[in-house]
Structure 1
Amino acid sequence: MRAFLAMQPYGILLLDENGKMLELVPFPRDEKAIARILQEREFLREALNKILSNIDAEIVVNDIILKEILDEMGRSSTLSPGERPFSIIRSSPLRYASQAWGEIKQKEYFQFLNELGILLSKSGVRERLSSLDQQVIKAVDFVDHSNKALNIIAPTIREWYSIHFPELDELIEDHYDFIKLISLEPNRKKLDQKILEEAGFDEKIIKKIIKASRDSIGADLSDIDLQAIRRAALSWLELYEAKREMELYIEDLMRRAAPNLSAVVHPMVGARLIAIAGSLERLASLPASSIQILGAHKAIFMHLTKGAKPPKHGVLFQAKEVRGAPKSLRGKISRLLATKIAIAARVDVYGDGKYIGDRLRMEIEEKLKKFMEAFKSESKGG
């Protein structure tokens, strides 16, 4: 014998195999109250306990929420919304709604469904936007846009300052070090040992900078001009520090949103994978082969249109395991990481808090060790 549990906008029904209603627990005739019921679920648990207290039959349900609650209650059930009893109640909604709420007109019922649908849609959007992985995506966007801005502005500041001290451009290659020095003291004639040590330079480069500053062919700019350059440098440094703080925030957020994924690869790499996939759930649905080349859009396009070699990795090249490996091993290591990432993401989404990150990471380390041993052996043999 089978019993059929249906959740409808007007309540929860228990039906027999012919669609005859055996039990009915009506919902309040208020769309806000129904939305709360679906979110909090306590009303649903009590209703199911009441309906099924004397039922000893195979339970078939038409809604995933009912199945989840029954699973929590330790009651087995089957999700099969296409069964005939469910089709019967869907074909006569007004008849069953009237048994729950009393006589109701078609126009009135459809208006209620419309208002309930809008309310549930808003609630779903709100829940979606508040999820941790969506915060990860927006934070990654901020970091990416900041990097673009920093990389565009830094050369401009260097070129601007080269009017005053052109030799410094060749002495200091790193943008951060160059701009930090300008922020401390833009006037080349005032650069001394103390300022350069504060900027973080070693003795060898300090001597070169001081000598170059004294022999410079650069123009003598006014204090107003030099302070304008300094303000630009300070703005750049402020954005740089904001980007660094955001990266630390992303790492913390990832360890909360996707602890297993964050154990398998660096949290920033995992965050970029989520951002490209669109969500953690979407990432968890992808096969390892797709995860391996996420972010390699241009390379895939060239492969499809120009016949170039297919890409071996996308964002995963940013993982230290891939980036620091011999070129011949990068594809193999990318496949290994993608496989473990796929498992980690699925556990983060569907594992109900289960943590296997350390085990996955250990498996990666063991495989990497074998790859390197085989590579060294082949190199010696060659």
Structure 2
Amino acid sequence: MHFLFKLMTYLKTKWFGVFLYDEEKIKDKKLFPKEPDEIAEKIYLMQKGGVLEEEEYFKKHKPVVDDERLSSIGKIGKVKKLYVMGKEFGYDNDLLRKACIKLAMRKIREEQEKRERRITEAVETLDDIIKVTNILLERMRSWYDYFSFEGGDIEDVLAIKVGDKKLDKIEEENIKNLAKLIVSLQKARKDIENYIKKTMEEMAPNVSNIAGAMISARLIARAGGIDKLAMFPAGTIQLLGAERALFRHLKDGTPPPKHGIIFQHEMIKKAPKEKRGKIARLLATKISIAAKADAFTKNFIANELKKEMMEKYEEIIKSKEK
């Protein structure tokens, strides 16, 4: 009597293709295109837990697989080691190197985008904290005015003595709790500002050095990322944050805005009103160049840009031309 033994079929994915094989030989294969971008894309998909179409092709064979990612393709089990090299099929190490570089660059971009989104959240949170703190400070001082016509700062409120009656003590506790809440919000504001500063120094050292960490963070948040900011012309950067004023100008014919977010920069704020437009253009131009360096070349050029900017700034300030 003769017995027929069916050999186990295995499935294994290498960086250059997918192989179906048994104990004796490779039965079938699906090789990847010899393009770094496509190989990088397939490796990326696998690392994310996805199943490749080349792997799906072998599902009908119900192979044994050793990767949980492929549990929908075959049965999880011990897989016979597959001894196969890329060069046997014309895939050299240079192709692998290029694919790995593409993959690494994609991951860096993704991480940067995540960081940029978190910076946007931090900036918006900071704005909310500032707004709420100002409202509560005004309310606290208004409340404190019932007991004193002087002071009204946190220290004054924390030292207040309302009275000895039960309601007085409750009121005193409430106003002091309000002061403590404001103190905690001020601490949160400082912590977030420090986080933004450190992040901007790492993410956009050139822009941060030229415009300051907070202005840089607001520009990047408004633009939607450092890459997008780098693609904006200087004129757009100059007016980022002034969209409402620009809309009013276009709709109602009001004077056009000369600057947006960058108005917060000391160079513009301290300049004579008639020279702010020129200084805003100067700053926006340098920010545009700095953003391109941060997004693309990664070269630190802020010192040279700042030197050029300050020289031009002095010229504008000293100029009698309005």
TM-score when normalising by structure 2: 0.67
- Residues 11, 271 of structure 1: CA spacing in aligned structure 2 closer, same or farther, 3 A cutoff? farther
**1:145 aligned onto 2:90:** no
C-alpha contact (below 8 Å) 2:162/2:169 kept by paired residues: no
| Stretch deviating more after TM superposition (317-326 or 156-165) | 156-165
Match of 1:133 among 116, 119, 123: 116
Q: 1:28·1:34 contact (CA, 8 Å) conserved in 2?
A: no
Q: Distance in 1 between matches of 2:89 and 2:262?
A: 52
Aligned mates of 2:191, 2:279 — CA distance in 1: 30
Identical-pair percentage: 32
Structure 1 residue 274 corresponds to structure 2 residue 193: no
- 1:128 touches 1:134 (CA, 8 Å); kept in 2? no
SS in 1 for 2:256: coil
- For these two proteins, the number of residue pairs brought into alignment is 253
After superposition, the C-alpha distances for 1:72-112 in whole angstroms (9 at most, x for unaligned) are: 79xxxxxxxxxxxxxxxxxxxxxxxxxxxxxxxxxxxxxxx
Q: What's the CA shift for 1:13? A: 3.0
Q: Does 1:238 align with 2:258?
A: no
Give the Cα separation in 1 of the matches to 2:241 and 2:44: 47
CA separation in 2, counterparts of 1:70 and 1:32?
Answer: 14
For normalisation by structure 1, the TM-score amounts to 0.57
In the alignment, does 2:304 pair up with 1:359? yes
Which residues of 2 match residues 171-186 of structure 1 at below 5 A?
A: 178-183=153-158, 185-186=159-160
Determine the C-alpha separation between the residues in 1 that align with 2:174 and 2:292. Answer: 52
Residue correspondence of structure 1 range 96-135 to structure 2 within 5 A: 127=110, 131-135=114-118
Q: Extract unaligned runs of 5+ from structure 1.
A: 1-6, 16-24, 37-45, 56-65, 74-119, 173-177, 190-219
- The CA RMSD measured in Å over matched residues stands at 4.0
Is residue 2:299 matched to residue 1:374? no
Matched, 1:154 2:137: yes
> Does structure 1 residue 301 correspond to structure 2 residue 247?
yes
Q: Structure 1 residues 300 and 180 mapped into 2: Cα distance closer, same or farther (>3 Å)?
A: farther
Alignment-mate amino acid for residue 32 of structure 1: M
Q: Deviations over 1:241-264 (max 9, x none)?
A: 110121111111100010011111
- Are the structure 2 counterparts of residues 164 and 333 from structure 1 closer, same or farther at C-alpha, using a change threshold of 3 Å? same
Gaps of 5+ in 2: 1-15, 19-29, 51-84
Distance in 2 (CA, whole Å) between partners of 1:29 and 1:310 is 51
Q: Tell me by how many angstroms 1:32 deviates.
A: 2.2
Matched letter for residue 256 of structure 2: P
Q: CA 1:333–1:48 in 2, change beyond 3 Å: closer, same or farther?
A: farther
Contact kept in structure 2, 1:136 and 1:271, CA below 8 Å: yes
Aligned-residue offset at 1:69: 2.5
